[in-house]
C-alpha cells in the first residue's frame, strides 16, 4: 500500500457552533481515507461580536488548543494531528490577528473573507453585486499582503452571494489584478471542495481562476472544509484531477507554517476511496 502523504488542511470542531463531531472522529475518518494527518482549523475568536454565532468565544481559545493537543496525543503514530486556525480577514482585523497568531504554535493559518457575514456586508455591500465582487477581490489581495496567512481559503466564495451576477468576463480583470498582487506575496490559495455543495455547485475557486493562478505560479493547498467527520478529504480525487487539468503537478501542505510539496501522482495513489 502506498504510504500516506495527504492532510485534511481545513476542518472544524463543534466550538464554532456550526460543526459536529470531535476532532478524534475526524481523525478516524482521515485514517479510513488514507490520509497522513489532519490540521484542525476552526473559526477564530474575534472581539466585539463579529459573527459571534459561528465561531468560538474568546474564552474558549485555550479549550480549543487543549482539545487539539489531546487529540494529537490520542492519535500519535496513526494520524498526525496538528493545530491550525481559520481567521476572518476584513480591514481593521490585522492587529488582533497578529496578536492571536502568537498565542499558540500553529501549523496552518487560513485567511478567509466570508462575504455572507452580516457585519461584513453592513460595511462593504451597498446593494450593487458587481461592486461587492470587486471589493471582495481587492480585500483578498489585501489579506495576502498582510503576511498574516499561509493560505487564502475558498477564494471565490463571493460568487455564491448573487449567483446570477457572477459573470466571468465582467470580473476577469479584477481577478487578474488581485492574483498579480497575491502572486507577489508567495501566499498559497486553497482549492476548497465544499463549494460543490453551494449555490454555484463547483469547487472554490472555479477552474478558470485556477488556470490564472497556475500562470502566476501561485501554490495550491486542497481542503474539504469539513464540518462533519465524513467530509474529511471529500472530493480530493476530483480536486487533484481539476488541478492537473489546470496545469498543476504539485500541491502544497503547511506544517509549522512552512509549505511542503506533494506530487499529485503520489497524492492520488495514497487516497483510499470511501466505502
Binding residues for Zn ion (CB under 5 A): 86, 225
| Residue among 219 and 223 whose Cβ is closer to Zn ion | 223
Q: What are phi and psi of 36, to 5 degrees?
A: -85, -35
Q: How far is the CB of 155 from Zn ion (least distance, A)?
A: 13
**Can you tell me the distance from the alpha carbon of 79 to that of 74, in angstroms, rounded to the nearest whole number?**
9
Q: How far is the CB of 225 from Zn ion (least distance, A)?
A: 4
| Residue among 86 and 150 whose Cβ is closer to Zn ion | 86
Q: How far is the CB of 86 from Zn ion (least distance, A)?
A: 5
Q: Where are the beta strands (DSSP E) in 113-249?
A: 151-152, 188-192, 220-223
| Residue among 148 and 171 whose Cβ is closer to Zn ion | 148
Q: Are 151 and 221 in contact (CB under 8 A)?
A: yes
Q: How far is the CB of 106 from Zn ion (least distance, A)?
A: 15
CA distances from 202 to 147, 168, 229, 238 (A): 28, 14, 21, 11
Give the chain's end-to-end CA distance (angstroms, integer): 17
Three-state DSSP class for residue 198: coil
Q: Residues with Cβ < 8 Å from 8, sequence gap 6 or more?
A: 26, 30, 35, 37, 38, 39, 223, 224, 226, 232, 233
Q: How far is the CB of 75 from Zn ion (least distance, A)?
A: 21
The x, y and z cell numbers of residue 51, run together, are 459573527
| Residue among 71 and 151 whose Cβ is closer to Zn ion | 151
Which residue is nearest to Zn ion, using beta carbons? 225
The x, y and z cell numbers of residue 67, run together, are 482539545
| Residue among 142 and 190 whose Cβ is closer to Zn ion | 190
Q: Are 154 and 204 in contact (CB under 8 A)?
A: yes
The x, y and z cell numbers of residue 241, run together, are 484531477
| Residue among 31 and 225 whose Cβ is closer to Zn ion | 225
Within its chain, how far is the Cα of 113 from the centroid?
10
| Residue among 52 and 272 whose Cβ is closer to Zn ion | 52
The x, y and z cell numbers of residue 39, run together, are 490540521
Q: How far is the CB of 54 from Zn ion (least distance, A)?
A: 6
Q: How far is the CB of 192 from Zn ion (least distance, A)?
A: 8
Q: Are 115 and 89 in contact (CB under 8 A)?
A: no
| Residue among 26 and 181 whose Cβ is closer to Zn ion | 26
Q: How far is the CB of 194 from Zn ion (least distance, A)?
A: 8
Amino acid at each position: 500500500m502506498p504510504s500516506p502523504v495527504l492532510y485534511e488542511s481545513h476542518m472544524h470542531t463543534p466550538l464554532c457552533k456550526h460543526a459536529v463531531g470531535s476532532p478524534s472522529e475526524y481523525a478516524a475518518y482521515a485514517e479510513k481515507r488514507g490520509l497522513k494527518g489532519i490540521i484542525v482549523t476552526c473559526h477564530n475568536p474575534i472581539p466585539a461580536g463579529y459573527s459571534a454565532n459561528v465561531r468560538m468565544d474568546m474564552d474558549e481559545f485555550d479549550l480549543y488548543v487543549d482539545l487539539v493537543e489531546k487529540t494529537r496525543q490520542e492519535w500519535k503514530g496513526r494520524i498526525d494531528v496538528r493545530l491550525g486556525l481559520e481567521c476572518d480577514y476584513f480591514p481593521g482585523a490585522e492587529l488582533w490577528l497578529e496578536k492571536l497568531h502568537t498565542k499558540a504554535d500553529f501549523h496552518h493559518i487560513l485567511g478567509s473573507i466570508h462575504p455572507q457575514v452580516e457585519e461584513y456586508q453592513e460595511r462593504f455591500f451597498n446593494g450593487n453585486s458587481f461592486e461587492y465582487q470587486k471589493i471582495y477581490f481587492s480585500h483578498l489581495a489585501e489579506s495576502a499582503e498582510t503576511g498574516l496567512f499561509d493560505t487564502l481559503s475558498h477564494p471565490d466564495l463571493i460568487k455564491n452571494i448573487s449567483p446570477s451576477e457572477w459573470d466571468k468576463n465582467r470580473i476577469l480583470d479584477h481577478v487578474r489584478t488581485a492574483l498579480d498582487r497575491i502572486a507577489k506575496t508567495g501566499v498559497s490559495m486553497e482549492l476548497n471542495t465544499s463549494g460543490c455543495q453551494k449555490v454555484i455547485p463547483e469547487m472554490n475557486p472555479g477552474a478558470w481562476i485556477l488556470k490564472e493562478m497556475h500562470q502566476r505560479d501561485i501554490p495550491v493547498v486542497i481542503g474539504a472544509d469539513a464540518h462533519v467527520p465524513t467530509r474529511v478529504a471529500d472530493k480530493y480525487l476530483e480536486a487533484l484531477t481539476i488541478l492537473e487539468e489546470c496545469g498543476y503537478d504539485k500541491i502544497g501542505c503547511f506544517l509549522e507554517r512552512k509549505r511542503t510539496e506533494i506530487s499529485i501522482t503520489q497524492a492520488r495513489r495514497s487516497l483510499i476511496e470511501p466505502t
